[in-house]
A and B are shown apart, each in its own frame.
Chain A
Amino acid sequence: MGIDLPLLWAVIILFGVMMYVIMDGFDLGIGILYPFFKKKEDRDVMMNTVAPVWDGNETWLVLGGAGLMAAFPIAYAAVLSAFYLPLVFMLVGLIFRGVAFEFRFKATEHQQHFWDKAFIGGSIAATFFQGVTLGAFIHGIDAIDIHTGAYIGNDILHWLTPFSVFTGLGLVVAYALLGSTWLIMKTDGELQQRMRILTRPLAWILLAVIAVISLWTPLAHEAIAHRWFSLPNLFYFLPVPLLVALTMYHLLRTTKYAHAAPFLLTLALIFLGYSGLGISVWPNIVPPHITIWQASSPSQSQGFALIGVLLILPVILLYTAWSYYVFRGKTRHGEEYH
């Protein structure tokens, strides 16, 4: 076999998780922004910008889970059993958020506010605990049975650290910014104007979050510091913080007048942050001990599933793009489409 299957699969899973973060990011962001918009009409429009697509966006999370199980069963067992409680809380958040899409429009007037709250609470909880899991993951899992990946520690709150709480809050800000810039693109009039106003402080806060995490991680983990600050790595990775600064500058500038640019720039920002995390933990799939090669399933499994990915994923991207195209343009209240 000339191909490094585990490497390919690591790329596929990184891609799948990134697609999830970007796409469900703005869905969840809308829920996080709900508290700032009290009017029912505004909330209707906000929800309707993603109602036709949110389910497909969430599916990337299932692909990440299934792909991890197929290609790196030991990592799947490790991550899911070690982060048991935060993942359960995340799932419960996603349950409330998901059904709110359906129930909110079917509830009676006086029940609707309950599903509004479910949408808000579910979105915030799902995002926060995703971020907590991410922070705990970067921090690494020690009490692992290397052979099976099962978590063998008995501390059920080992994932709860100041760092993981901070990454949890950080992700809430990141998704809120994805949501607000998405809505700049998909709405107009007064609602859009208010999104523009909200985007600036969110962008500044996110910049601060990125800065803090960029300092905190290498200070707390020697391996990560070595990865970034040893020569010649420093020169290879220097573009990352420079690009962040450049993206940020344009984001703040275009927020005042552009429609799609702020959202695209936010995507770039998220991608840069994500790549930074990737650089930090590579080639571990379960920091600090298990690499992608150690966690791999047999090549018969990785090869079989790879055929499906290579053949089907492009088709999925095509019809997903088509469904976004069908619902292109501004979502307005009280306007007839033809």
Chain B
Amino acid sequence: MIALDALTLARVQFGFTVSFHIIFPALTIGLASYLAVLEGWWLHSRKQVYQDLYHFWLKIFAINFGMGVVSGLVMAYQFGTNWSYFSAFAGSVTGPLLTYEVLTAFFLEAGFLGVMMFGWNRVGPGLHFLSTIMVALGTLVSATWIIASNSWMHTPAGYEIVAGKVVPTDWLQVILNPSFPYRLAHMGVAAFLATALFVAAVAAWHLLRGRQQPAIRKMFSMALWMALLVAPLQALIGDFHGLNTLKHQPAKVAAIEGHWENHASPGMPLTLFGWPDMKREETRYALQIPRLGGLILAHSWDGQIPGLKEFAPADRPNATIVFWTFRIMVGLGVLMIALGVWGFYLRCRKRLYQSRAFMHFALWMGPTGIIAILAGWYTTEIGRQPWTVYGVMRTADAVSTHSALQLGISLVIFVLVYFAVFGAGIVYMMRLAQQGPILNEGKETNPGGPGQLHQPMRPLSAAPAVSKDKEQNTNPGN
């Protein structure tokens, strides 16, 4: 049992709030770009199906975006409330990066989001499309800055330490630090992949109920093209990222592999499954494939990498956790590739919209993108321990000197609030997803808002309470 001291509570609080938070931006990044593609395609082809899909996903995007904003606000303040020593020490680097994120991304998203959501009838189609593109651009720019900040904490560069504080000496090196390109590519593609899986699952759910409308088929098809393209790409990026990590954070890779020490020969095996035991300094019940570990990580038949025992016990990340989170991520990645390939095979046989087994598979794969993102972040962040800034500042030195009571109070509050609020939000998102696209939906405003005739019909409502909604909905299944 871990003692619930202030450090543990602060780490749990950060992990909890950031885990909830990352779900929303990941889908926001993917959906914003998807919406930009839909609207562009609609302007180009004028096919109704794209406009219907745009309005359908816009509603889900809006809820998701709102939750991302409020959970992100908590993150921006948590560095100061819970990690004040880290902020005082490294705020000179992370602060400007966050400032640029606010200036170049948050305002852009927020400024154009209103027009995107409520301006369909107030600005011309060109300006509206521009707003959608700006929002999508904002999400990508936002990811870039925050990944730069996070990468710097993993592979700090372009700085010196003066009087016990970080002083940036070269901002290009700070931003383009050694792990930044890999992390950015890995997270960006993960967002697109997770969104594609989510879209495919929603489409599959409707197809399984026999709703073979053009809009539903279209989004199923688009999502599966996306999965086919980016799932293998993600595996490739992940491999490069792993080699980069081996170069800069060898202890993390050793922990991920459950690899304790090197033997003379043959090369390093790959441990498929096992139970890395931090106390006994060994991986129990290990199921291994000889030489494969060295082949993957050192790209040679007799390859070896440093084992965990080469690091002082105080400098080792928890292998028990990262060993398994990494395998969950990779296992799900393999299934995603399988989904893309199977879909492509069915497409070639003209059976994409008929195979119920495949639809069930796509439905079950819906949340896996998000789960893999969480598993991946746990791997890299828990694998960074015991450091907050790798090799420079230990997590134990970064935490504020709060009483455990104060941290306990706030943690309980956050847990209760997050489950209630975001639980409700996810329910609303699912409800909207269940409704499915509405044919010829064009007027997107809130009741009482601009462009809104005062009628009980509420196109934005996920509620089945109003009978007029039903008339709008052309789903034969309803």
Contacts and interface: CB of A to CB of B under 8 A. Distances in A.
Interface of A: 41, 44-45, 47-48, 51-53, 55-56, 58-59, 61-63, 65-71, 73-74, 76-81, 84-85, 87-88, 91-92, 94-96, 98-99, 101-103, 105-109, 111, 147-152, 154, 156, 297-298, 300-301, 304-305, 308-309, 312-313, 316, 319-320, 322-323, 326-327, 331, 333-334, 336-338
A327 B450 contact: yes
Contact of B168 (A96, A105, A300): A300
7 contacts: A52-B119, A56-B111, A70-B96, A102-B62, A297-B92, A301-B96, A326-B122
Contacts of B98: 66, 69-70
Interface stretch (B25-33, B42-50, B73-81, B227-235): B73-81
Nearest to B106: A59
A55 B171 contact: no
B70 A77 contact: no
Contacts of B462: 106-107
Contact of B465 (A102, A108, A152): A108
A336 B410 CA distance: 46
B454 interface: yes
A88 B169 contact: no
Contacts of A44: 446-449
B92 A298 contact: yes
A337 B85 contact: no
A102 B401 CA distance: 37
B1 interface: no
Nearest to A157: B406
Contacts of A300: 92, 167-169, 171
A66 B101 contact: yes
A88 B418 CA distance: 13
B103 A316 contact: yes
Q: Which interface residue of A91, A94, A149 has the most chain B CB atoms within 10 A?
A: A91
B87 A76 contact: yes
Ranked 6 nearest A-B pairs via Cβ: A80-B80, A73-B91, A334-B454, A52-B114, A44-B448, A70-B95
B374 interface: no
A288 to B, nearest CB: 19
B162 interface: yes
Given A92-B417, A334-B454, A87 B77 contact: yes
A150 B111 CA distance: 35
Contact of A331 (B93, B103, B109, B449): B449
Interface in B156-195: 162, 164-165, 167-169, 171
A55 B445 CA distance: 17
Contacts of A103: 63, 424-425, 428
B111 A323 contact: yes
Contacts of B85: 77, 148, 150
B104 A312 contact: yes
Given A63-B103, A103-B425, A52 B96 contact: no
A102 B98 CA distance: 26
B70 A73 contact: no
Interface residues of B, number: 92
B95 A305 contact: yes
A73 B88 contact: yes
A66 B453 contact: no
Contacts of A71: 95
A52 B118 contact: yes
B91 A69 contact: yes
B449 A102 contact: no
A91 B96 contact: no
Given A106-B463, A305-B100, A66 B428 contact: no
Contacts of B403: 154, 156
Given A76-B95, A297-B92, 14 more contacts: A48-B445, A69-B91, A76-B80, A84-B406, A92-B417, A105-B461, A150-B84, A151-B401, A301-B96, A316-B103, A322-B111, A323-B111, A326-B122, A337-B450
B90 to A, nearest CB: 8
B95 A102 contact: no
B69 interface: yes
Contact of A319 (B79, B92, B111): B111
B410 A69 contact: no
B64 to A, nearest CB: 9
Nearest to A70: B95
A111 B420 CA distance: 14
B168 A65 contact: no
Interface string B390-428: 000000000011110110011001100100010011001
Contacts of B425: 99, 102-103
Contacts of A309: 99, 103
A297 B80 contact: no
Contacts of B88: 73-74, 76-77, 147-150
A52 B90 CA distance: 36
Nearest to A338: B121
Contact of A150 (B59, B62, B401, B428): B401
Contacts of A150: 84-85, 88, 400-401
Contacts of A109: 463, 465
Contact of B77 (A91, A149, A308): A91
A92 B17 CA distance: 12
A106 B123 contact: no
Q: Which interface residue of B162, B421, B425, B464 has the most chain A CB atoms within 10 A?
A: B421
A290 to B, nearest CB: 12
A312 B165 CA distance: 28
A105 B70 contact: no
Contact of A88 (B81, B103, B122, B400): B81
B66 interface: yes
A65 B123 CA distance: 33
Given A58-B69, A62-B73, A331-B450, A156 B405 contact: yes
Contacts of A61: 73
Contacts of B401: 81, 150-152
Contact of B87 (A73, A91, A92): A73
B432 interface: yes
Q: Which interface residue of B99, B117, B164, B425 has the most chain A CB atoms within 10 A?
A: B99
Contact of B81 (A80, A99, A106, A108): A80
Nearest to B97: A70
A70 B91 contact: yes
A301 B152 CA distance: 15
B453 A336 contact: yes
Given A301-B93, A313-B103, A84 B162 contact: no
B129 interface: no
B67 interface: yes
A87 B421 CA distance: 19
B450 A105 contact: no
A164 B326 CA distance: 49
B81 A87 contact: yes
A73 B95 contact: yes
A309 B101 CA distance: 11
A95 B447 CA distance: 23
